[in-house]
Amino acid sequence: MIRPLVSIITPCYREEKTIGRLLEAVRAQTYPVEMMEVVVADGISDDGTLREIELFRRSRPELCVRVLENPDRIIPSALNRAIAASHGEILLRLDGHSLPSSEYVATCVELLQRGKGDMVGGVWRIQPGDGSWQASAIAAAASHPFGVGDAYYRWASSAREVDTLAFWAFRKAWIDRVGLFDETLHSNEDYDFNSR
């Protein structure tokens, strides 16, 4: 199987506590590290996010990590900037606070190569932000049909067609057909894009 370059595009703002974990999880993927790049579009974070990225880059130079400024501080602008700067045949979105399983990139590439969809991804497993009952209740509601209805990408137990994905992968060539993210939408930009 041919292994295409994968550009992991990451919108990011004030992710000091989580960005290092994400970058380490990308470096630890089963997909070859030399066939991945990470393009972080940072909303000019004023915490230690950029310091954490730089520390990672120095200690793990085998993974190409580039940082772009996103002065608009909105997700569609971050995604568009990262897409424009990416070099990969496949684009894969991971946010600054996400934590993919070790085979996530390889699985997405395989599914695309097998023609299993124009856009592919996994189930978004919501984890509580702390040990409180409130955080646990929110995580449970956001991962159950009672709380999210037919948003299968949040709770499906097997592969299926869905109307949208949170952390998707698709071929960059699709941008020429569907266009970029609508920067007038400050939320639900992914639903708009995925519907196109």
CA–CA gap between residue 7 and residue 152 (Å, rounded):
25
Domain boundaries for CATH 3.90.550.10 within the chain: 6-122+165-183
- The DSSP 8-state label assigned to residue 103 in this structure reads T
Total length of the chain: 196
Query: Is residue 194's pLDDT more than 80?
Result: no
What fold characterizes domain 6-122+165-183?
Spore Coat Polysaccharide Biosynthesis Protein SpsA; Chain A (3.90.550)
pLDDT tens column, 145-181: 544 444 545 444 556 465 556 788 999 999 989 899 8
pLDDT tens column, 55-107: 999 999 999 999 999 999 999 999 999 999 999 999 999 999 888 999 999 99
Q: In the prediction, which pLDDT does 163 show?
A: 57
Q: What is the dihedral of CA 13, 164, 146, 96, to 10 degrees?
A: -20
Closest to 23 in 3D by CA, of 69, 54, 68: 54
Q: In the prediction, which pLDDT does 159 show?
A: 62
